[in-house]
Amino acid sequence: MRKSKGLKKGTLPVYIILWIASILSIFPFYWMFVMATRPSAAYNSIPPTLLPGDQLVENFMKVLDTIPFFQAMWNTILLCTTVTLAVLLISSLAGFAFAKFEFPGKNFFFILILLTMVIPPQLGLIPQFYLVSQLGWLDTLLGAGVLFLLNPLGIFLMRQYISESVPDELMEAAKLDGCSNFRIFRSIVLPIIKPAFATLGIIVFTLVWGEFLWQFTVLRDPASYTLQVALASLNNAFRVDFGMLLSGVFWATVPLIIIFLIFNRWFISSITEGSIK
Amino acid sequence: MESVQKRQQASKVKKSTTQMSEKKKDMLSGYLYIAPFFIIFGIIGLYPAVFSIVLAFQDWNGLGEMDFVGLSNFVVVLQDPLFWKSLYNTVIIGLMGTAPQLVVGIILAYFLNMAVIRFTNFFRVTIFMPYITSMVAVALVFGVFFSSSETALANYVIGLFGMDPVSWKTSEWGAKIAISLMVFWRWVGYNTIIYLAGLQSIPKDLYEAATIDGAGKVQQFLHITIPMLKPFIILTVFMSTVGALQLFAEPAVFLGSSAFNRDEAMTVVMYLYRDAFNLGSFGTASATAVLLLIIIVGAAALNTWLTSGVGRKQKRRAFTK
């Protein structure tokens, strides 16, 4: 009884280390916010500025003058949402096929998917860029998104989940009632695999949200910028206004942090499910 | 009699044909449902990969005709000191950015898994938070933190320890340390979560049995925790190796407009990008891509083999004891 109130004996060093790790993890977020509310000169002051100032609006206005921020935000949301929905559909269909149907060459195709996971994305970068430019998709969200449709991990997750959670008996019963395979997919499989959709959806959405190399390669026109490309362009000026720069980063990061804090359990479990299975 | 038999046979045949068509339907569905993925794979996965390998042997600027030049692209790249410098940078930043994660990640996960520790969910969420930040955002925030000015926050911090200010963006080790730190900061929570899942999968009775046998906490950690965690360690080592060799966004954004003109933090992917899109030499860039593929496969295989070897040795030692 006595122990339950205070710290257990010997745990103090552990708490100290965990607190240090937590503070170091969060500090850059806090500091980004402080800098976003300060004039650019604040980073020069000694001792360093650690409390928020009053330039929150001014700095963000400067961001709006430099990059098409809201356009980039809209482009990013549109890109992430479309790609996520498309990957969910493609992966669940293929996962369903690999989990429940027998067809010649099934193992060959599955191993082929395994191999695609090992090829580094940079190998095809130049031909992919050439292909997209030939199709006239440079500076379009179509060009920026098409690469992300290739998501072998999604098929793995979906195959695993469907073979574990969709009972064969249910499918047979539906077949006896004259259900077509696609009807089975739509009315039996889809409702069952909703949790897997959440996992894969989070993985794909955050992946596309944060990816840089491909978006940077394909999107050259500011009107087509996604957030990451727009933010990176803030850093290209000869004399960078740090208050403005971190204001841009702050407002571009806040939406994802809010989503993360609300759904943190799902985010964290998506990592273990996505990497261990 | 005969007619009855015939009818029976006929119905059997009929049954088997309907079964056949059911099977065929399933086969068709199978192909149909995997088709979208494989069509996309063919166009934007397989074709570019093969094209890249072909391009590595051609002289091409993306517009005119291709000229077959044999191995000369590879010779050009392999004789370029900048390629070797970028490979060296990539390996050094990779080692400094990822190897400490392994140790720190296991320690943090071990602490978070201790039954007596409270607020674990709070610690888990905060330690994981850097991972959801995009690489560009991390590079920009760290870019200000490690700005080249003498009054940068990073210089203030090392000044507290009596060190002289460092020019983080233009010095050989300053740039590497800053970039390694941002890689470390962003990924350590991710690895902690994976190790935590690994620790939670270890059956509790193993520890109970060891305690009864009189094994101390350190012995338990070395002989139960580490060997049982091996698959998870191999997984993170594999992913860290592959990821580290593909480093691009962090150095490119951290250094801003001078990123492709300086060599302190140029990585292999930056070298490749510069060749293709700044210098218009698709042939040598493709040769670099092929070399990178070989390096990644080789390093991933080597590191996976090394990590599984460490576990094996330990197991053998445990047995001989």
Residue-wise DSSP of B195-253: HHHHHHTS-HHHHHHHHHTT--HHHHIIIIIHHHHHHHHHHHHHHHHHHHHT--HHHHH
With CB atoms and an 8 Å threshold, state whether A14 touches B114. Answer: yes
Strands B67-68 and B58-59: antiparallel
Q: What's the rounded mean pLDDT across residues A78-90?
A: 97
With CB atoms and an 8 Å threshold, state whether A43 touches B51. Answer: no
Q: Find the residue in A nearest to B280 (Cα).
A: A126
With CB atoms and an 8 Å threshold, state whether A109 touches B38. Answer: yes
With CB atoms and an 8 Å threshold, state whether B112 touches A96. Answer: no
The partner residue sitting opposite B136, judged by closest CB among A48, A89, A232, is: A232
With CB atoms and an 8 Å threshold, state whether B117 touches A128. Answer: no
Which H or E run includes A246? helix A242-262
Domain B75-320 is classified in which CATH homologous superfamily?
MetI-like (1.10.3720.10)
Q: What's the rounded mean pLDDT across residues A51-55?
A: 84
Tens of pLDDT along chain B (321 residues)?
A: 455 555 555 555 555 555 557 788 888 889 999 999 999 999 988 899 999 999 999 988 777 788 888 899 999 999 999 999 999 999 999 999 999 999 999 999 999 998 888 888 899 999 999 999 999 999 999 998 998 788 788 888 888 898 888 888 888 899 999 999 999 999 999 999 999 999 998 888 888 888 888 888 888 888 888 889 998 999 899 989 999 999 999 999 999 888 898 898 999 999 999 999 999 889 999 999 999 999 999 998 999 888 887 655 554 444 443
Q: Which residues of B touch A253 (CB under 8 A)?
A: 133-134, 137
Note which residues in 200-239 of chain B have CB less than 8 A from chain A: 232, 235, 239
Pair B252, B270: CB distance under 8 Å: yes
Question: Is B282 in CB contact (< 8 Å) with chain A?
Answer: yes
- Residue A3 pLDDT > 50: no
Q: Find the residue in A nearest to B272 (Cα).
A: A122
pLDDT digits (tens, 9 = 90+) for A250-267: 999 999 899 999 988 888
- Stronger pLDDT, B179 or A274, i.e. the higher one: B179
Question: Within its chain, how far is the Cα of B264 from the centroid?
Answer: 22
With CB atoms and an 8 Å threshold, state whether B48 touches A249. Answer: no
pLDDT of residue B19: 58
Mutate one of A11, A24, A35, A126 to test the B interface: name it (highest B CB count within 10 A): A126
Q: Which residues of B touch A25 (CB under 8 A)?
A: 126-130, 185, 189
Contacts of A154 (CB under 8 A, 6+ apart): A87, A88, A90, A91, A95, A200, A203, A204
Task: Of A41-45, A221-225, A231-235, B120-124, give the lowest mean pLDDT range.
Answer: A41-45
Q: What is the ipTM of this complex?
A: 0.90
With CB atoms and an 8 Å threshold, state whether A127 touches B48. Answer: yes
* DSSP label of B278: I
- Stronger pLDDT, B5 or A230, i.e. the higher one: A230
Mutate one of B140, B145, B150 to test the A interface: name it (highest A CB count within 10 A): B140
Going along chain A, which residue ranges are E strands? none
Q: How far apart are CA A140 and CA A75, in angstroms?
A: 10
Sequence ranges of the domains in chain B:
2-55, 75-320
Q: How far apart are CA B291 and CA B288, in angstroms?
A: 5
Q: How far apart are CA B113 and CA B208, in angstroms?
A: 16
CA of A22 vs chain B CAs: smallest distance (Å)? 5
pLDDT of residue B17: 53
Mutate one of A5, A25, A133 to test the B interface: name it (highest B CB count within 10 A): A25
With CB atoms and an 8 Å threshold, state whether A14 touches B29. Answer: no
Note which residues in 52-81 of chain B have CB less than 8 A from chain A: 52, 55, 62
At residue A36, what is the residue type?
A
> A-B interface: how many C-beta pairs under 8 angstroms?
273
CA of B195 vs chain A CAs: smallest distance (Å)? 9
Question: Is B145 in CB contact (< 8 Å) with chain A?
Answer: yes
**Residue A259, CA atoms < 13 Å, CB-side half-sphere:** 14
Q: Find the residue in B nearest to A202 (Cα).
A: B132
Question: Is B173 in CB contact (< 8 Å) with chain A?
Answer: no
**Domains of chain A, earliest start first:** 2-56 (no CATH), 67-234 (1.10.3720.10)
Question: Is B84 in CB contact (< 8 Å) with chain A?
Answer: no
CA of A147 vs chain B CAs: smallest distance (Å)? 7
Q: Can you give the pTM of this predicted structure?
A: 0.88
Answer left, alpha or beta for residue B154, where phi above 0 means left and psi between -120 and 50 means alpha.
alpha
pLDDT digits (tens, 9 = 90+) for B220-236: 888 888 889 998 999 89
The partner residue sitting opposite A119, judged by closest CB among B29, B49, B253, is: B49
Output b/e per residue, B29-44; b: 16+ Cβ within 10 A.
Answer: bbbebbebbbebbeeb
pLDDT digits (tens, 9 = 90+) for B23-46: 888 888 899 999 999 999 999 888
